[in-house]
Structure 1
Amino acid sequence: MSPSYNTSDRSGIWSYVPFGSSPRRRSVSSGLPLRHSGNSDSKDHNAPWDPFEKSDRRTGGNGASHPSTLESIQNAWMTQSRQARYLKTGGVLTLIVLLYWVFSGGSSYSASNNVYTPDNSPTTRCTKPHDLSKPLVQYAIMIDAGSTGSRIHVYKFNNCGPTPELEHEEFKMTEKKSEGSGLSSYKTDAEGAAKSLDPLMEVALSTVPDDYKSCTPVAVKATAGLRLLGDEMSAKILNAVRTRLETKYPFPVVSKEKGGVEIMKGEDEGVFAWITTNYLLGKIGGPDETPTAAILDLGGGSTQIVFQPTFKNSPHGGMPEKMAEGDHKYNLKFGGRDFELYQHSHLGYGLMSARNALHASVLDHMHKQNPNSKAWLSKPIPNSCIIPGMQKKINVTMPPDHELAGERSVTMEGPVDAIPAQCRALAEGILYKDKACTLHPCSFNGVHQPSLDKTFSREDVYIFSYFYDRTHDLGMPESFTLRELLDLTEKVCGGEKHWNAFEGVEGALTELRDRPEWCLDLNFMSALLHTGYEMPIDREVKIAKKIKGNELGWCLGASLPLLEKESGWECRIKEVTR
């Protein structure tokens, strides 16, 4: 009998015909009898019979086929290996995303989500920035560590246009103290100086939203007061301030290389104030070639002047064709325009420094009249810059090379009858108009300055800080001439019998009665503007403390560059709390 074949196991023609490069299929040999398990459900009922095979090697004793130990290990290893690859790949991707989020500061205003709707926009001005690479809203913190006190400015900007727009400002200053509340007043107590900024930083914490804190730069700029303290003490104070800001607060501190916590250069102080004023006036930052305003800032330890002079292009006009080279020349690029500015910071000619210089001049005159005795130091000393009928106890620091060197505590007394011209003469005396001028023309103390009358005769002149405080509080309008300032000075120096004009000005009489040096302050300011800077007597000046609700001074001008890339800070890594 011929053997029978199961037609389902017979190799068909397609088993032998190759397709392309595919290997030829091999069929199971039909020469071996097929193994039957006796279980019709078994998947191996057509497998070839092996006489040496154990009956339950494949079935596990119950007829169910399962892989060998080696096959099980291989299958398990392949499954675990595949899972491990998946886990590793997922872990790497997760790590990349996490690192990107961390090193971008976790900022909520990255370029990928920089477009908002009117409902969720952080500003009411627009819903997306003019430049999508910039955040829609930015904050910046600037601390003005002045000679008489520290002030914080917290700015909010939007980037709806090509130039950042100042949208809001929070301002606070340290409480006034008789000995001063600036960093320099702490002298050897560096930690105390650093802690004095804590009340100001609380304003920053409450103003800047949490999502923006890690990407809001903070900088501290000290001015003339700390500059006069000396290198060693000032360095310790600045280091203590930086350490406290970096360890106690979430804001990134601008790097040392970019002047994050520093004594600001005098020329920068003036130029930043010029930027602030002209930015708020809309004279810079736009497409128009608008004439700019000059600024004269009177601080406690120094005074600054910055303006953009115009030179006539005529070699026969009695003027140079361009500004002379020197430290006074400041080239500035801002808002797509180039500016060639004149600037100078007169250290030692701030109002507090001028007071000391005037009082020292009085002591010097008295000493020359009484060279063999110092008994007069314990008696009231006549001083024409003190309001008639008033006295004040004053600590005067004399030059180290003077016979009265050191600090002298004396009582200054005003004259019986007012002599305003004598006080003005004292004020003009400390300007040293006769000092040698190596580069003509000069303003005072031998310092070169282009003539305001010839190179800046029509544009606006803004005077602020102490200029504003001493005139606004006595009822002066937003603009007045130097002649009107001299009239005010004469009335104040005349004593209380001439003060009836101030009865209608709220708080003016109280101020005059509490401050015997009003006459000195006004005389110095008049002398500085008219004699020092040589402004014509009928030249109009403008006083301001704010423009469009924003504080004047150098702080805003110094904060605007911090909004740009590579300005010395990076977003801080957010701490993850558990």
Structure 2
Amino acid sequence: MGRIGFSCLFPASWHFSLSPQALPRLLIPSLRQLLFISLVLCLIGLFYMLLIAMKTHTSWTGEENPFHRHLARVTDLDETDTSNPNLNYGLVVDCGSSGSRVFVYCWPRHNGNPRELLDIRQMRDQNRKPVVMKIKPGIAELAKTPEKASDYIDPLLSFAAKHVPKHKHQETPLYILCTAGMRILPESQQEAILEDLRTDIPVHFNFLFSDSHVEVISGKQEGVYAWIGINYVLGRFNHEHKDGEAVVEVHVPGSDQQEALMRKRTAGVLDMGGVSTQIAYEVPNTVSFASPQQEEVAKNLLAEFNLGCDAHVTDHVYRVYVSTFLGFGGNAARQRYEESLIRNTAARNKLLGEHVGETVESPLLDPCLPSDLQDEIGPPTQRLHLRGTGDFDECRQILQPFLNRTNDTQTSLSGIYQPAIDYSNSQFYGFSEFYYCMEDVLRMGGDYNASKYAQAAKGYCATQWKTLKERFDSGLYASHADFHRLKYQCFKSAWTYEVLHTGFSFPTTYKNLKTALLVYDKEVQWTLGAILYRTRFLPLRDIPQESLKGAHSHWRHNFSFVNNHYLFLVCFFIVLLSIILYLLRLRRIHRRVAQRYTPSSVPWLEEGLGSPSLPVDL
């Protein structure tokens, strides 16, 4: 047999030649090389499996995939960047009693995790101002001319259309939601206004708008939306919690799972306006009822809903209690109180033959007005003259009957059902009058302390009216505090105190109430909660179906994972093992062949391997 030359493959200094018997020794790797090759291939396989596991683990457990993290949040800059193709938009028109406002919201593409919500923010213009517009009066003023409803709302939608990129209009959902002003109209008048909007808006605007996108919402819905909005801004729907963060044990409504979930504690909401007072908070545990009648009432006050995009995933299932009390707002309560004074004083004067309150010289003493304040109430035929005595504690006692409390268990104002609150592990935010009453004059907004608040209110009530006016003229109170606030601060201080501690039964030692105007320096509207809830299914278009299937069933997820990935890994190692065994077999064959030849019978073998320039391992 001849020799094989390799001079064309190596430099001149490496010139050598091999016989056919020497060639297998060069081609067959050593054991060390085999182990190295095997290790590299194993690492490649494990790296592939790690990538797959990270992706699958994200969709299964709800943990954020770091590769999608850049799609999960809206930055401050993105809120103004209408050229960003990843931004989506949504519109909510709040048709209130005094006027209507349109809010423009934006959010990036969903990150593909079915356990995460959309990152919705209020859109801002180039000057960093929220994109919002308000018109007056309220839409309920069109009760007799419902055909003008679409013309009434046209300026709001035209304003929004200028801020949303035109090519995005057809995929931008529009919701027109009417509140208290429309609720008091007869149903026929409500429907006439709504029908005009349903008919004309699609003709003039290309937004994503259907008949169900315009409606009169209930007070319960409005309260739930407000609760959602506040907790969303507070980050309470992100269930990843750090050590030391407040958590709560939740028994998910309608879930078959026996074990309770541990997730971030949500915040309750207290809101007192001029006319009504509202309370909303999560009820984490299954509730019991004292009677079938109470259970029937509770059904109208408890809202159970899923904020997530997948009905099978219970991470964002909540049970929230919401109750609105008409006539229990600060101004409405004062009006009821004054009507009671007029009625009771007239009856007493008639019975005793007295003339108390009929003249300035014989005023009726009112402990709920600042000391020595002179006031007149009632129509001309029933005019009643008052003079304040500024007694905070007496005022509180007088106001307690106006709460309409009963002796029934688990009830609050007017005997309305109220599920138990775990005061030891809860948090509440107080808005509107709860904040104004504590901040405008008393300058105590923020963390609430009942004893300090009562002491400050008592001091204000007892201060002479002349002194209070001097302080007001000197600018010692909040800039938006007006003369009306000054007059009725004593009454409202006592009223909010009683509503909180007697009506809602908050302990006077409760330390976890924060009164606020803004949350994280942002005014939180119920419209934010509305669009978050109504767009909750939009992430479905960005979530792979495999992720949703995996979220539905742990067993199906495991089965899919084994078939798609573990099976691949098994096949990979079988092939790798076959290659190694084949190479080892070649090595053994080579050794047997080499043993058949002695150095004397194959001198050309020594000659072929004799080159010191290219050592060969055995």
What is the aligned partner in structure 2 of residue 251 from structure 1? 207
What is the aligned partner in structure 1 of residue 497 from structure 2? 526
Q: How many residues align?
A: 413
Indicate conservation of the 8 Å contact 1:389/1:413, yes or no.
no
What is the aligned partner in structure 2 of residue 445 from structure 1? 414
C-alpha spacing 1:410/1:304, structure 2 compared with 1 (3 Å): same
CA distance in 2, matches of 1:520, 1:391: 14
What is the aligned partner in structure 1 of residue 164 from structure 2? 208
1:164 matched to 2:164:
no
Greater Cα radius of gyration, structure 1 or 2: 1
CA distance in 1, matches of 2:394, 2:431: 26
Alignment of 1:176-215 (within 5 A): 181-184=137-140, 188=144, 197=153, 200-201=156-157, 203-215=159-171
1:141 matched to 2:106:
no
CA distance in 2, matches of 1:516, 1:185: 32
What is the aligned partner in structure 2 of residue 261 from structure 1? 215
Indicate conservation of the 8 Å contact 2:430/2:516, yes or no.
yes
Indicate conservation of the 8 Å contact 1:174/1:199, yes or no.
no
In the TM superposition, what is the alpha-carbon distance from 1:461 to its structure 2 partner? 0.7
Instruction: In structure 1, list runs of 5 or more residues that go unmatched.
Output: 1-114, 127-134, 397-407, 568-578
Alignment of 1:222-233 (within 5 A): 222-233=178-189
CA distance in 2, matches of 1:159, 1:192: 37
CA distance in 1, matches of 2:486, 2:381: 18
Indicate conservation of the 8 Å contact 1:389/1:416, yes or no.
yes
SS of residue paired to 1:524: helix
In the TM superposition, what is the alpha-carbon distance from 1:175 to its structure 2 partner? 7.2
What is the aligned partner in structure 1 of residue 581 from structure 2? none
Cα deviations across residues 441-486 of structure 1 (Å, max 9, x unaligned)? Answer: 211211121333xx23232211113323333333323222233333
Give the structure with the higher percent helix. Answer: 2
CA distance in 2, matches of 1:297, 1:159: 33
What is the aligned partner in structure 2 of residue 154 from structure 1? 104
In the TM superposition, what is the alpha-carbon distance from 1:165 to its structure 2 partner? 1.1
CA distance in 2, matches of 1:395, 1:235: 37
C-alpha spacing 1:352/1:496, structure 2 compared with 1 (3 Å): closer
Among 418, 429, 432, the alignment partner of 1:465 is: 432
Alignment of 1:448-527 (within 5 A): 448-452=417-421, 455-474=422-441, 475-494=443-462, 495-497=464-466, 499=468, 505=476, 507-508=478-479, 511-512=482-483, 516-527=487-498
C-alpha spacing 1:485/1:155, structure 2 compared with 1 (3 Å): farther
What is the aligned partner in structure 2 of residue 556 from structure 1? 528
CA distance in 1, matches of 2:194, 2:500: 34
Indicate conservation of the 8 Å contact 2:405/2:415, yes or no.
yes
CA distance in 1, matches of 2:489, 2:340: 18
CA distance in 2, matches of 1:409, 1:484: 42
CA distance in 2, matches of 1:496, 1:141: 48
Indicate conservation of the 8 Å contact 1:142/1:218, yes or no.
yes
C-alpha spacing 1:191/1:347, structure 2 compared with 1 (3 Å): farther
Indicate conservation of the 8 Å contact 2:282/2:320, yes or no.
yes
2:428 partner amino acid:
V
Q: CA RMSD in A?
A: 4.5
SS of residue paired to 2:320: strand
Cα deviations across residues 343-370 of structure 1 (Å, max 9, x unaligned)? Answer: 3222332334333322322233234225
Indicate conservation of the 8 Å contact 2:275/2:330, yes or no.
yes
1:445 partner amino acid:
S
In the TM superposition, what is the alpha-carbon distance from 1:557 to its structure 2 partner? 0.8
1:334 matched to 2:307:
yes
Indicate conservation of the 8 Å contact 1:214/1:251, yes or no.
yes
2:180 partner amino acid:
A
Indicate conservation of the 8 Å contact 2:357/2:385, yes or no.
no
Deviates more, 1:135-144 or 1:230-239: 230-239
C-alpha spacing 1:509/1:300, structure 2 compared with 1 (3 Å): closer
In the TM superposition, what is the alpha-carbon distance from 1:505 to its structure 2 partner? 4.6
CA distance in 2, matches of 1:183, 1:543: 31
C-alpha spacing 1:514/1:566, structure 2 compared with 1 (3 Å): closer
1:270 matched to 2:223:
yes
1:226 partner amino acid:
M
2:171 partner amino acid:
C
CA distance in 2, matches of 1:394, 1:241: 43
C-alpha spacing 1:293/1:367, structure 2 compared with 1 (3 Å): same
Indicate conservation of the 8 Å contact 1:294/1:308, yes or no.
yes
Alignment of 1:52-451 (within 5 A): 136-161=86-111, 162-169=116-123, 170=130, 172=132, 174=134, 181-184=137-140, 188=144, 197=153, 200-201=156-157, 203-239=159-195, 245-246=201-202, 249-256=205-212, 260-262=214-216, 264-288=217-241, 289-309=263-283, 326-327=298-299, 328-335=301-308, 336-370=315-349, 382=364, 384-388=367-371, 414-434=386-406, 437=408, 440-451=409-420
CA distance in 1, matches of 2:185, 2:369: 28
CA distance in 2, matches of 1:191, 1:491: 55
CA distance in 1, matches of 2:493, 2:324: 20
In the TM superposition, what is the alpha-carbon distance from 1:278 to its structure 2 partner? 1.1
Indicate conservation of the 8 Å contact 1:391/1:411, yes or no.
no
Indicate conservation of the 8 Å contact 1:309/1:456, yes or no.
no
Indicate conservation of the 8 Å contact 2:435/2:445, yes or no.
no
In the TM superposition, what is the alpha-carbon distance from 1:558 to its structure 2 partner? 0.8
C-alpha spacing 1:168/1:226, structure 2 compared with 1 (3 Å): closer
Indicate conservation of the 8 Å contact 2:432/2:517, yes or no.
yes
Cα deviations across residues 167-206 of structure 1 (Å, max 9, x unaligned)? Answer: 3343657478xxxx44456765657777665665454244
CA distance in 2, matches of 1:220, 1:378: 50
Paired-residue identity, %:
24
CA distance in 2, matches of 1:412, 1:284: 53
1:472 partner amino acid:
E
Instruction: In structure 2, list runs of 5 or more residues that go unmatched.
Output: 1-67, 80-84, 124-129, 242-262, 309-314, 540-618
CA distance in 2, matches of 1:420, 1:242: 52
C-alpha spacing 1:507/1:300, structure 2 compared with 1 (3 Å): closer
Indicate conservation of the 8 Å contact 2:357/2:384, yes or no.
no
CA distance in 2, matches of 1:414, 1:245: 53
In the TM superposition, what is the alpha-carbon distance from 1:411 to its structure 2 partner? 5.9
SS of residue paired to 1:467: helix
C-alpha spacing 1:348/1:283, structure 2 compared with 1 (3 Å): same
- For normalisation by structure 2, the TM-score amounts to 0.56
SS of residue paired to 1:418: coil
SS of residue paired to 1:344: strand
In the TM superposition, what is the alpha-carbon distance from 1:248 to its structure 2 partner? 5.2
